[in-house]
Structure 1
Amino acid sequence: MIKCSGKSVLKGIAIGRIYLYKKQEYVLKQETIENPEAEIERMEKAKETATEQLEELYQKALKEAGEEQAMIFDVHKMMLDDADYLDSIRGLIRDEKMNAEFAVNLTGENFAGIFASMDDEYMKARSADVLDISKRLIRILAGVGEEGIASEEPVVLLADDLSPSETVQMDKSKILAIVTKHGSTNSHTAILARSMNIPALVQTDVALLEEYSGAKAVVDGFSGTFIINPEEDVLEKSVQKKMEYEKERTALQELKGKDNVTTDGRRINLYANIGNVSDVDKVLDSDAGGIGLFRSEFIYLGREDYPTEEEQFVIYKEVLSRMQGKKVIIRTLDIGADKQVDYFKLPHEENPAMGYRAIRICLDRPEVFKTQLRAIYRASAFGTAAIMFPMIISVKEIRKIKEIVEEVKTELTKEGISFNRVELGIMVETPAAAVISDALAKEVEFFSIGTNDLTQYTLAIDRQNQNLDNFYDSHHEAILRLIKMTVENGHKEGIWVGICGELASDTTLTRTFVDMGVDELSVSPTYVLSVRKAVRDI
């Protein structure tokens, strides 16, 4: 029996045989070609194929994991179209008469080296992305297909690491759990594993030996252990633990229709987060009280041009209608940082996470902002809509937003278009907003605390950087103090305060949030019932 330790991505128990995942081997060789233009044309065709593959991966991830996880493939498409990257490949083929495979590899390594040497952590992370798109091009040029899972029965997938594209492409019905030697608990792959709702371990101290292939294994997402060839008593205990966990999950279904009330009578609203219209089914099935975060960015992604007012109206109307009067809180456009959209023609930034993004773009481009607001207000006639604005740092911004909102309402009234009253709130996701929340609370009707960015900005840690996992602490006292301050300041002005970031689903903090007086928690539909149980147990 071999026992290994890793970092848990998702709780749960999986028991099955190991499938050792290896990328298909390809021996790269430099060759001299006779016709450079024909070789460039071959490369261009491979690039077209790669773009099509990335679009398919984007759509697949959007459907299975939501738009935040799908964004990585939009970033890859953008990098694949980079003029400097492509000119370098073409130059090597023309000037050095180098075969396309080797030219792509050399360019990829050069660009990856440039990114890796930068001081900015976001740009350093792009090093892996440029290598990923280069490998994709090389596989297409060489005729090497994507690796799948060659097994008839579901398996415990063991790998060195998995790229987002590899994770998305896999047949989810064949995966019981994922165990990787490398990776980060905050990586895109980890988030994708969570969205699949299967136990997963990263940074596991396991050797990737051929002899492990086909061996029986236990993945324990509670203790972060991976056991190969478990002894009989260990296997029996694991089976028992798995049965108890599944029993608990079944018991959670009995909480549907129950109130989110503590034993001493404190009530909290429990809503769900969505990324697109297809997620509404999950919300309804989870028995959430409403939608606490509708990420509207997905409407703008995977397109060649801005969505029209009519296109947006149809989407908002469908969501509001299907929620049958339950509140739907729509976050206005939040692009920038790692969510790039080509047709917005955003400038290159050294530190995009702190740059031109979210409400800053909307206030700078009021025509785009007003189109979205008009669509939301028109759709409000078909349900209960609320709007929240991301990345707020000042009272001045809110007052400017309210001016634009009034302009939109006046225009619609003059046009004879009906709309319902819409609650206006802001996301508190910058330390600045939390610190001046007493002043901001006088301007809006609710706060929704975005703990993902609030943690990142407060701790000055890029949560995607696996080298900083040991420093990243979402339970940091500074974060909890900022949340408490925001709740208290909101209540002083008579507005409600919710949390829509990852911490909302952390049941080890549910009591803390209830004690703080948080009015609403908005989580992934998967976690609605487990958070309801945590509330009812207080």
Structure 2
Amino acid sequence: MTATITLRAPLSGVVLPLSQVPDPVFAGGMMGQGLAIEPLSSTLLAPCDGEISQVSSTGHAVALRAANGAELLLHIGIDTVKLGGQGFAPRVAVGDRVACGQLLVDIDIDSVAQRAPSLITVLVVTNSDDMQLGTPAHGVVQAGSSVLLDIRALGVAAEATTASGNSHHAQAVVAHEGGLHARPAALLQHTARRFAAQIEIGFGGKHASARSVVGIMGLGVGEGDSVTVHASGADAETALAAMLAALQTRSEAGHAVATVPETTIATRNDGKLGGICAAPGLAVGQLVLLAEQDRAVPERGAGVEAELTALHGALAQVRGDIEADIALAGQRGARAESEIFGAHLALLDDPELNLAAERFIVDGRSAAHAYRSAIRTQSEVLLGLGNALLAERVADLKDLERRVLDVLLGSDPASEGAPQLPAQAIVVADDLTPSQLTRLPRAQVAGVVLARGGASNHVAILARALGIPALVACGPAALQLPAGAEAVLDAGEGWLEAQPDADAVALARQQIAAHAARRLALREQSAGRALTRDGVHIEVAANVVNAAETRDAVLHGADGVGLLRTEFLFTERTDAPGSEEQRAACQAVLDALEDRPAIIRTLDAGGDKDVPYLPLPAEENPALGLRGIRTSLAMPEVLDAQLTALLQLKPLSRLRILLPMVTDVADLLRVRERIEALASQLGLSERPQLGVMIEVPSAALLAAQLAEHADFLSIGTNDLTQYTLAMDRCHPALAARQDALHPAVLRLIALTVHGARQHGRWVGVCGAVASDPQATAALVGLGVTELSVSPALVPEIKHRVRQLDAAACQELALTLQQQRSATEVRALLAAAANVVAQ
């Protein structure tokens, strides 16, 4: 391996030190050492030979791995992720080998300059702890020719070695973004549990069991760090290979943003409270301080056996509560919330944490005192590592402590239910746990301000997902804010002004009103039909789970329900719902739609959708086992009860039944036969429309045969992408690569439309890609005539459809299918935005 490499200028322009970059994350060196360039050219070039390790979905950033192991991040402009890809056209994909000076990204300099705070482009070495950087160039540099700086590797990772017998060890360089924090640690734990072997991870002279999330986090391993993996036992060699793969498979940190430690926040001299933006947005509201006090916990227990029984019972109950939270989040499509509670579940099952609590009980302490002591001991370890990202995980441990203590001691009266808040509250607290944030009444929360926390912790991720402006790491001064006073919060700019003057309040309200006016304008226009400029009608429906969401969808202008997930009727209970209960719930949805149609999907159980009381077998690979219609056909009484309920809805003319996970015509015909038999028993003369979901490649390839017997086809792009790319959609390390705009998926959509048209059937899309405005042109061009999206996005998608020229989209779709990756597809869509839309 080459120890030293020389970087050449990726852009023409003026070299600046990172300290002059108008962004605290880069300027503070949180992302690594490097430099910046004020650009004078419009093409980003490779600064050295290497392999592309990451291309952002919006095209504004590219990561490159050099021959000596240096990880280089090239980030074009400041806050350019908010441009949604406009102005950037990547010319490389992940895995490409590039030569020094090769084109990486075409930049529309004028477009970006008009909408971004700065064009300053940053080049940082994200694993700079393992590298020695030379003296950087200064002044004006020329792209592709001027030398920027030399980088020398301080050490070379050893090749994997295998010990004799049943003990094996090897080294791996951790590729997870942000290192081994909660979610990557949970992934490693999940991998380790598949094997009988004893597996340990070593770093910096310390070792941790691979089955312990807390232990792994406590090592303080960062991205690019080299760790040693030891495995012993009958399947040690296989286990070692799996762990190496899990460590070296890159995973993104969700919407994580590098956090600036509280001590680095500059004191403002304008009287405003400064902090770190965790979720952008502007708010005017009344300050509400949420005080937190430790609960009184008895130290001595009532005996070891009694206290151990109490602890294990509490852990089991909390496990059920978290699983319920995950299920509810999944029903709402709240992916970030679901993943966060999934990490909490892994922490709850952590053997080292629970063993520590049990040891305290053996020493005579009560279960509550023992669990609190175990949690706080581990929290002190994480806080003492000097790693801001790991320190933020303390909030997750605190959340578990609160949950378990609530079971052991009874719910804390101070925390029962949602707190009483004024109409527009800016909630101020020392810190919040994820479950505390989700308990706040969303309609009354205008913003959140925290003394501690960081922009990459789980509360920040939730705030972004919920659309709540949030400022964190504001320091102790936040807790001295005047409760009840009016305040202006500009989280995007990183400040809160308490007791502002009338002009400041008026200006903030004016800006908020302008944003709301645009949303309202789109909403007011959303009731009408969505016609392209050349007259093609696209039905824009909504994905819902109940009547309340259906009413919200109608208010947002939905043309109907494109997907009603009936799983909500089957979860959170101990037995299956009867036909009458199902009928009443589905009738309420149909009534809420007035004269609009509803597509109601039959039970989609199995795989990652667990219905505890159904006797589904344990499966090594649930995604390829009993799922969707396979489950229903294997349990005919469950299917018959649901079909009976649906056939009693009125009017049947507005009902469309949808079958999930159909793989061939036989599945469809068996269900149609049951509908005919049940309809005859009910004395019905009318039949509802019957459609199938296209979720597996075989269904797309057999679309013509399916369309011969189905009334419509609806594409579930989430699963279709999973099965086409052979990537588990629940696998955190692969989430960043799960893109339904992959050309292989686009080709399957085109095949589906072609097959359906042979029998005059229409095709819709109800997967997540339908809610992506950037994808609308592609889907319209492929011939899709119905898009089912999140209720709140109906106005935006209808607006997007009305801007498009369908004929131009069709030409574009042909080109999209010829691209090599989803990254290239998105770049082409961004570049062609002005061609297909006015």
Give the TM-score category using the shorter length.
0.7 to 0.9
1:141 aligns with 2:413: no
- The equivalent residue for 1:276 is 546
Distance apart, 1:385 and its partner CA:
1.0
For 2:532, give the aligned amino acid.
T
Once the two structures are TM-superposed, the CA of residue 491 in structure 1 deviates from its matched residue by: 2.0
The aligned counterpart of 2:799 is 533
Structure 1 segment 244-255 matched on structure 2, within 5 A: 244-255=514-525
Which residue does 1:371 correspond to in 2? 641
Contact 1:335 1:341 in 2 (8 A): yes
Q: Which of 491, 513, 521 is equivalent to 2:757?
A: 491
Deviations 1:44-78 (A, max 9, x none): 88579858976996898799x47989988999999
2:282 counterpart (11, 14, 35): 14
- Tell me which amino acid in the other structure corresponds to 1:482: L
Alpha-carbon distance in structure 2 between the residues aligned to 1:348 and 1:106: 36
Q: Could you tell me how far apart the structure 1 residues matched to 2:626 and 2:506 are? A: 55
- Tell me, in whole angstroms, the C-alpha distance in 1 between the residues paired with 2:506 and 2:404: 47
For 1:450, the equivalent position in structure 2 comes to 716
Match of 1:289 in 2: 559
Counterparts in 2 of 1:90 and 1:306: CA distance versus 1, 3 Å: farther
Alpha-carbon distance between aligned partners in 2 of 1:314 and 1:7, rounded to the nearest angstrom: 45
The one-letter code sitting in structure 1 at the alignment partner of 2:772 is D
Aligned to 2:788: 522
User: Which of 566, 570, 573 pairs up with 1:300?
Assistant: 570
Query: What is the SS of the residue equivalent to 1:508?
Result: helix
Q: Structure 1's 88 and 432: CA in aligned 2 closer, same or farther, altered over 3 A?
A: farther
CA offset at residue 288 of structure 1?
1.6
Call closer, same or farther: CA 1:382–1:70 in 2, change over 3 Å: farther
Q: 3-state SS of the aligned residue for 1:441?
A: helix
Normalised by the length of structure 2, the TM-score is 0.49
What corresponds to 1:114 in structure 2? none
* Change over 3 Å in CA distance of 1:458–1:175 after alignment to 2: farther
Mapping 1:7-46, distance limit 5 Å = 13-15=281-283, 33-36=301-304, 38-39=306-307, 42-43=310-311
1:476 aligns with 2:742: yes
Identical-residue share of aligned pairs (%): 29
Aligned counterpart for 1:171 among listed residues 441, 458, 466: 441
**Which structure 2 residues correspond to residues 133-282 of structure 1 after superposition, within 5 A?**
136-141=403-408, 146=415, 154-155=425-426, 163=434, 165-177=435-447, 181-182=455-456, 189=462, 194=465, 196=466, 198=467, 207=473, 209-211=475-477, 217-219=489-491, 225=492, 227-228=494-495, 242-282=512-552
| More off after superposition, 435-444 vs 308-317 | 435-444
d(CA) in 1 for partners of 2:397, 2:697: 32
Which segment is superposed worse, 508-517 or 478-487?
478-487
**Paired position in structure 2 for 1:500:** 766
Give 1:373-412 correspondences, 5 Å limit: 373-379=643-649, 381-392=651-662, 394-395=663-664, 398-412=665-679
* Structure 1 partner of 2:598: 328
* Preserved contact between residue 556 and residue 795 of structure 2 (Cα < 8 Å): yes
Which of 341, 356, 361 aligns to 2:611? It is 341
Shift of 1:308: 1.1
Q: 2:667 and 2:606 mapped to 1: Cα distance?
A: 20
Q: What residue number does 1:312 align with?
A: 582
Q: Per residue, is there more strand in 1 or in 2?
A: 2
User: How big is each residue's C-alpha offset from its partner over 1:256-283, in whole Å with a ceiling of 9 and x where there is no partner?
Assistant: 4422112211111111111012222113
User: Residues 7-32 of structure 1: CA distance to partner in whole angstroms, max 9, x if unpaired?
Assistant: 77799842458999999686999966
Per-residue CA distance 1:464-484 (angstroms, 9 max, x = gap):
566555544443333333323
Q: Which moved more, 1:33-42 or 1:501-510?
A: 33-42
Return the alpha-carbon distance in structure 1 between the equivalents of residues 747 and 489 of structure 2. 42
SS of the counterpart of 1:279?
Answer: helix
For residues 133-169 of structure 1, give each alpha carbon's deviation from its aligned partner in whole angstroms, at most 9, with x where no partner exists: 6651135436766497797652278998853x33421
Deviation at 1:37, TM superposition (A): 5.0
**Shift of residue 362, structure 1, vs aligned partner:** 1.1
Q: Aligned in 2, Cα 1:161/1:7: closer, same or farther, shift over 3 Å?
A: farther
2:695 corresponds in structure 1 to: 429
2:616 partner SS: coil
- Deviation (angstroms), 1:332: 0.9
Structure 1 residues 407, 475: CA separation in 2 closer, same or farther (over 3 Å shift)? closer
> What SS is found at the alignment partner of 1:271?
strand
How far 1:494 sits from its partner (Å)? 2.1
Instruction: Kindly indicate whether the alpha-carbon contact (under 8 Å) linking 1:292 and 1:328 is maintained by their aligned counterparts in 2.
Output: yes
Following the alignment from structure 2 to structure 1, what is the Cα–Cα distance between the partners of residues 606 and 617?
10
Q: What's the counterpart of residue 359 of structure 1?
A: 629
Query: Aligned letter for 1:359?
Result: I
The CA deviation at 1:90 is: 11
Residue 156 to residue 36, structure 1, CA distance change in 2 (3 Å)? closer
**Aligned-partner Cα distance in 1 for 2:419–2:287:** 8
The verdict on how the C-alpha distance between 1:460 and 1:154 changes in structure 2, with shifts beyond 3 A counting, is: farther
1:6 to 1:226, Cα distance in 2 relative to 1, 3 A? farther
Larger RCO: Structure 1 or Structure 2 (Cα < 8 Å, ≥ 6 residues apart)?
1
Moved more, 510-519 or 25-34: 25-34
Question: Which TM-score applies when normalising by structure 1?
Answer: 0.73
User: 2 CA distance for matches of 1:489 and 1:184?
Assistant: 44
For 2:527 and 2:326, locate their aligned partners in 1 and report how far apart those are by CA, in whole Å: 35
Give the Å deviation of 1:300.
0.6
Shift of 1:526: 1.0
AA at the equivalent of 1:136:
R
Give the AA of the match of 2:583. F
Aligned-residue offset at 1:296: 0.6
Larger radius of gyration between Structure 1 and Structure 2 = 2
The structure-2 alpha-carbon separation of the partners of 1:450 and 1:43, relative to structure 1 and needing over 3 Å to count, comes to: same
Change (3 A) 1:435 1:184: farther
Closer/same/farther in 2, CA of residues 186 and 302 from structure 1, 3 Å limit: farther
Alignment of 1:112-123 (within 5 A): none
Give the CA deviation at 1:322.
Answer: 3.7
CA distance in 1, matches of 2:715, 2:321: 36
Q: How many residues align?
A: 499
Offset, 1:422 = 1.6
- Runs of 5+ consecutive residues of structure 1 not aligned to the other structure: 110-127, 220-224
RMSD of the TM alignment (CA)? 5.1
8 Å CA contact 1:387, 1:425 repeated in 2: yes
Which secondary structure does the structure 2 equivalent of 1:379 belong to? coil
Against the structure 1 CA distance between its residues 377 and 507, is the aligned structure 2 distance closer, same or farther, given a 3 Å change threshold? same
How many angstroms does 1:344 deviate by? 1.0
Q: Write the distance in 2 (CA, Å) between the matches of 1:51 and 1:470.
A: 28
Deviation sequence 1:303-324 (CA, Å, 0-9, x none): 2111112221222233224434
Alpha-carbon distance change, 361 to 136 in structure 1, aligned in 2, over 3 angstroms: same
The superposition leaves residues 398-446 of structure 1 with CA deviations (integer Å, 9 ceiling, x where unpaired) of 4234224323422441x34326322121112233433443443334222
Q: 2: CA distance between counterparts of 1:178 and 1:419?
A: 57
Query: Residues 329 and 208 (structure 1 numbering): CA distance in 2 closer, same or farther, change over 3 Å?
Result: same
Once the two structures are superposed, residues 218-256 of structure 1 have per-residue CA deviations (whole angstroms, 9 ceiling, x without a partner) of 24xxxxx553369x9x99998776443222112123314
Q: Secondary structure at the match of 2:536?
A: coil
**1:272 touches 1:528 (CA, 8 Å); kept in 2?**
yes
Give the corresponding residue for 1:121.
none
Report the Cα distance in structure 1 between the residues aligned to 2:447 and 2:728, rounded to whole angstroms. Answer: 27
Structure with bigger helix share is 1
Whether the 8 Å CA contact 1:301–1:341 is kept in 2: the answer is yes
Could you say what secondary structure the match of 1:374 adopts?
Answer: helix
